Chain A
Amino acid sequence: MQKVGENTFLLSGRVGINVRATVSGPIEGTGPLASRFDKIYADEKCGQNSWEMAEGTLLGDVLDFLLRKGDFVNSDIDMILSGDLLNQCMSTALATRDRNIPTIGLYGACSTMAESMCLAAMIMDNGGAENIVCMTSSHYCSAEKQFRFPLELGGQKPKSAQSTVTGAGGNILSLDKGKTAITAVTPGCVRDPGVTDSNNMGGAMAPAAATTIATHLRDTGRQPNYYDMIITGDLGSLGMEMCRQLTGELGYDISGQLQDAGTMVYPQEETQNTSGTSGCGCSALVLNSIVLDKMEQGKLDRVLFVGTGALHSPALLNEKQPIPVIAHAVSIERRKA
């Protein structure tokens, strides 16, 4: 591993994405990615009694799928890096309890998928660990309950608002395995662009995404067209456009490469009055289904995955503080045969 430029670490390319899994809720299960998910729950409670337990079930299922797909037993896994949106990383604790696998809980809000992959890749590239699980989850109902209002409270949401994805996704990074490899990571800095509107997370997060993307490109000396796709985690349609403009102002025109996971998860009719979807599960579902599918099929060679997170807390917002934001970039490339 070698540090280049301001914030980027170049990796040897030995760390590969070995297996991956996705589990979604009912609405996501009627969206354009549905056929690529491993499991779709028809019931938002996932057979549990509470939203928190439901989200823990989604994440636990992802872990089960990952171990089964890779034919791993618990002792093959060096550690789990996992996080979610709920207080005290509730879902992570629920999904990993009694697994007998070392677990490190992460909080990066909706950037958690990229955060966990950044960390795991850097740990493994230095040798020692062979298999690390990276995973995360979110749930519309548990997130509404914790961050906003009770579900049955009648109220309006502006068009800039995004819906939290109900779903979980993850992958197992393994040394020298998998068709795709992580070749560089750029951990992001926490930004405070001054936005206080909790219904405009995309607009708040766009500066974090733009600076991380531009930093990555400058550090590596790459042009945007080095990548077939630059995919942000959950900026939504509004935030994606702002990110495109801001990255342009930083000297990189990413119009041809930029896509956003927040515009891909829901069926069309669900997104008409919103800016798209958000949540840890948003980028986790998209990366671990369609993006890596296409890479493994050879339809995409190089992808810059930029997980975006609004480090939003109701307490800080009530204390009139703007929303801190962050974005981490993971460069993924298809291995040459």
Chain B
Amino acid sequence: MELNIPKEKYKKRADDAVEKSDIWVNLLKAFLVGGIICLIGQIITDCGLAAGLSKTQAGTTTSILLILMSAVATGFGWYDNLGRWAGAGSLLPITGFANSITSPAMEYKSEGMVTGLGVRMFIVAGPVLVYGISASIVAGIITYIVGII
């Protein structure tokens, strides 16, 4: 016995049966949490500038401190709860990048410090580096060529 429903039609039916999450609520949550993380970043940057760091130094310091905070929050098991609430709001700031490196490292520690933790650390964040770095190299080569023309 088979269902006489074409696959495309059934796929649509199954997709339509899913209760849509409230998109405006999700957007608001992402906006709030993303905004707050960036606000914390701005405060750290300004403190760095006030302490006499250069603009670049202050920016790097901000990244490092936000990453530290995120890694610690991940270790305590808080960041996944924040992510469940905030979605992209906690995924897209640099803290989400740190979470995506720390969480698989923790998860795969049981398979060994090298074969587990070390190997799997980049299963989520790896593509960010692969495509980010590659894109910047391509852009750099174009910049160089345009420069000598």
Contacts and interface: CB of A to CB of B under 8 A. Distances in A.
Q: Tell me whether A and B are bound partners.
A: yes
Interface in A1-29: 6
Interface in B101-135: 102-104, 106-108, 110-111, 123-124
Given A150-B104, A152-B103, A51 B80 contact: no
Interface stretch (B7-15, B52-60, B137-145): B7-15
A196 B14 CA distance: 10
A211 B1 contact: yes
Given A150-B106, A203-B17, A322-B11, 20 more contacts: A152-B74, A152-B80, A153-B99, A154-B103, A156-B21, A156-B87, A157-B84, A158-B21, A159-B19, A191-B3, A193-B5, A195-B14, A195-B15, A196-B11, A206-B14, A207-B5, A211-B3, A238-B18, A238-B19, A242-B17
B18 A151 contact: no
Contact of A154 (B3, B84, B104): B84
A152 B101 CA distance: 10
Interface string A179-200: 0000000000001111111001
Interface string A160-196: 1000000000000000000000000000000111111
A206 B103 CA distance: 34
A215 interface: yes
Given A154-B80, A193-B11, A238 B17 contact: yes
Contacts of B111: 50
A241 B17 CA distance: 9
Question: Which bracket fits the contact residues of A?
Answer: 35 or more
Interface of A: 6, 49-52, 145, 149-160, 191-197, 200, 203-204, 206-207, 210-211, 214-215, 218, 238, 241-242, 246, 249-250, 322
A283 to B, nearest CB: 21
B10 A154 contact: no
Contacts of A149: 103, 124
